Amino acid sequence: MFKLRLSLLLLLSVNFCYAQLSSKELSVLKNDLVKAVEDPKLTDSLFVKLNKLSGKTALTTAYLGTLEALKAKHAWNPYSKIKYVKASQKAMQQAVNMDKENLEIRFMRFSIEHFTPSFLGFSKNLNLDRKQIVKHYQHDNFGNADQALIKNVAKFMIESKRCTPEEVKVLKKFV
């Protein structure tokens, strides 16, 4: 179940780099993302490739933060796991600061924090991001998000069991 959700998160996030990648590179990236969930070397190579892009946007920064979270998943050393989670958290905060109203960035950060064990204390933005995501749905404010993303985010939010009954009602309209 975790693999499926993480794969979904990565696939939903791939359009971030579209402006900086050719259509062929984007196609390869989409295929590689699914594999990266279980392949630490591929995760590292995707991170290096994206980190070399100049003029990183808020979305690219968030995408790099997502890859840092994957690096934490793949690490065996507890110290390394914490280091990668902190780097992911820092990148995600930077992305949010660059574009506070971006549904996709808020969703990626929510997803990462949702799957991070709460006892580590790295899930401090869950409520804030949940409220911001639901606000997008309440106001039909989705920016450049396509219908598949809108539907999948709503579904994930409902399945996360972190939403209030009122928020679930709002989200269900989009599933």
The tens digit of pLDDT for each residue in 29-81 reads 546 765 777 889 989 999 998 899 888 888 888 889 989 999 999 999 999 99
**pLDDT at residue 22 is higher than 90:** no
| Residue showing tokens 């992305």 | 95
Predicted TM-score (pTM) of this structure: 0.83
Q: How far apart are CA 170 and CA 68, in angstroms?
A: 32
Q: How far apart are CA 34 and CA 162, in angstroms?
A: 26
- Is residue 64 within 8 Å of residue 47, measured between CB atoms? yes
Segments making up each domain of the chain, as ranges: 39-172
Q: How far apart are CA 69 and CA 73, in angstroms?
A: 6
Q: Which DSSP letter does residue 77 get?
A: S
**pLDDT at residue 11 is higher than 60:** no
Among 26, 108, 22, smallest CA distance to 59 is for: 108
In this structure, whether the domain defined by 39-172 belongs to CATH 1.25.40 is answered with: yes
The tens digit of pLDDT for each residue in 85-143 reads 999 999 999 999 999 999 989 998 999 999 999 888 999 999 999 999 999 999 999 98
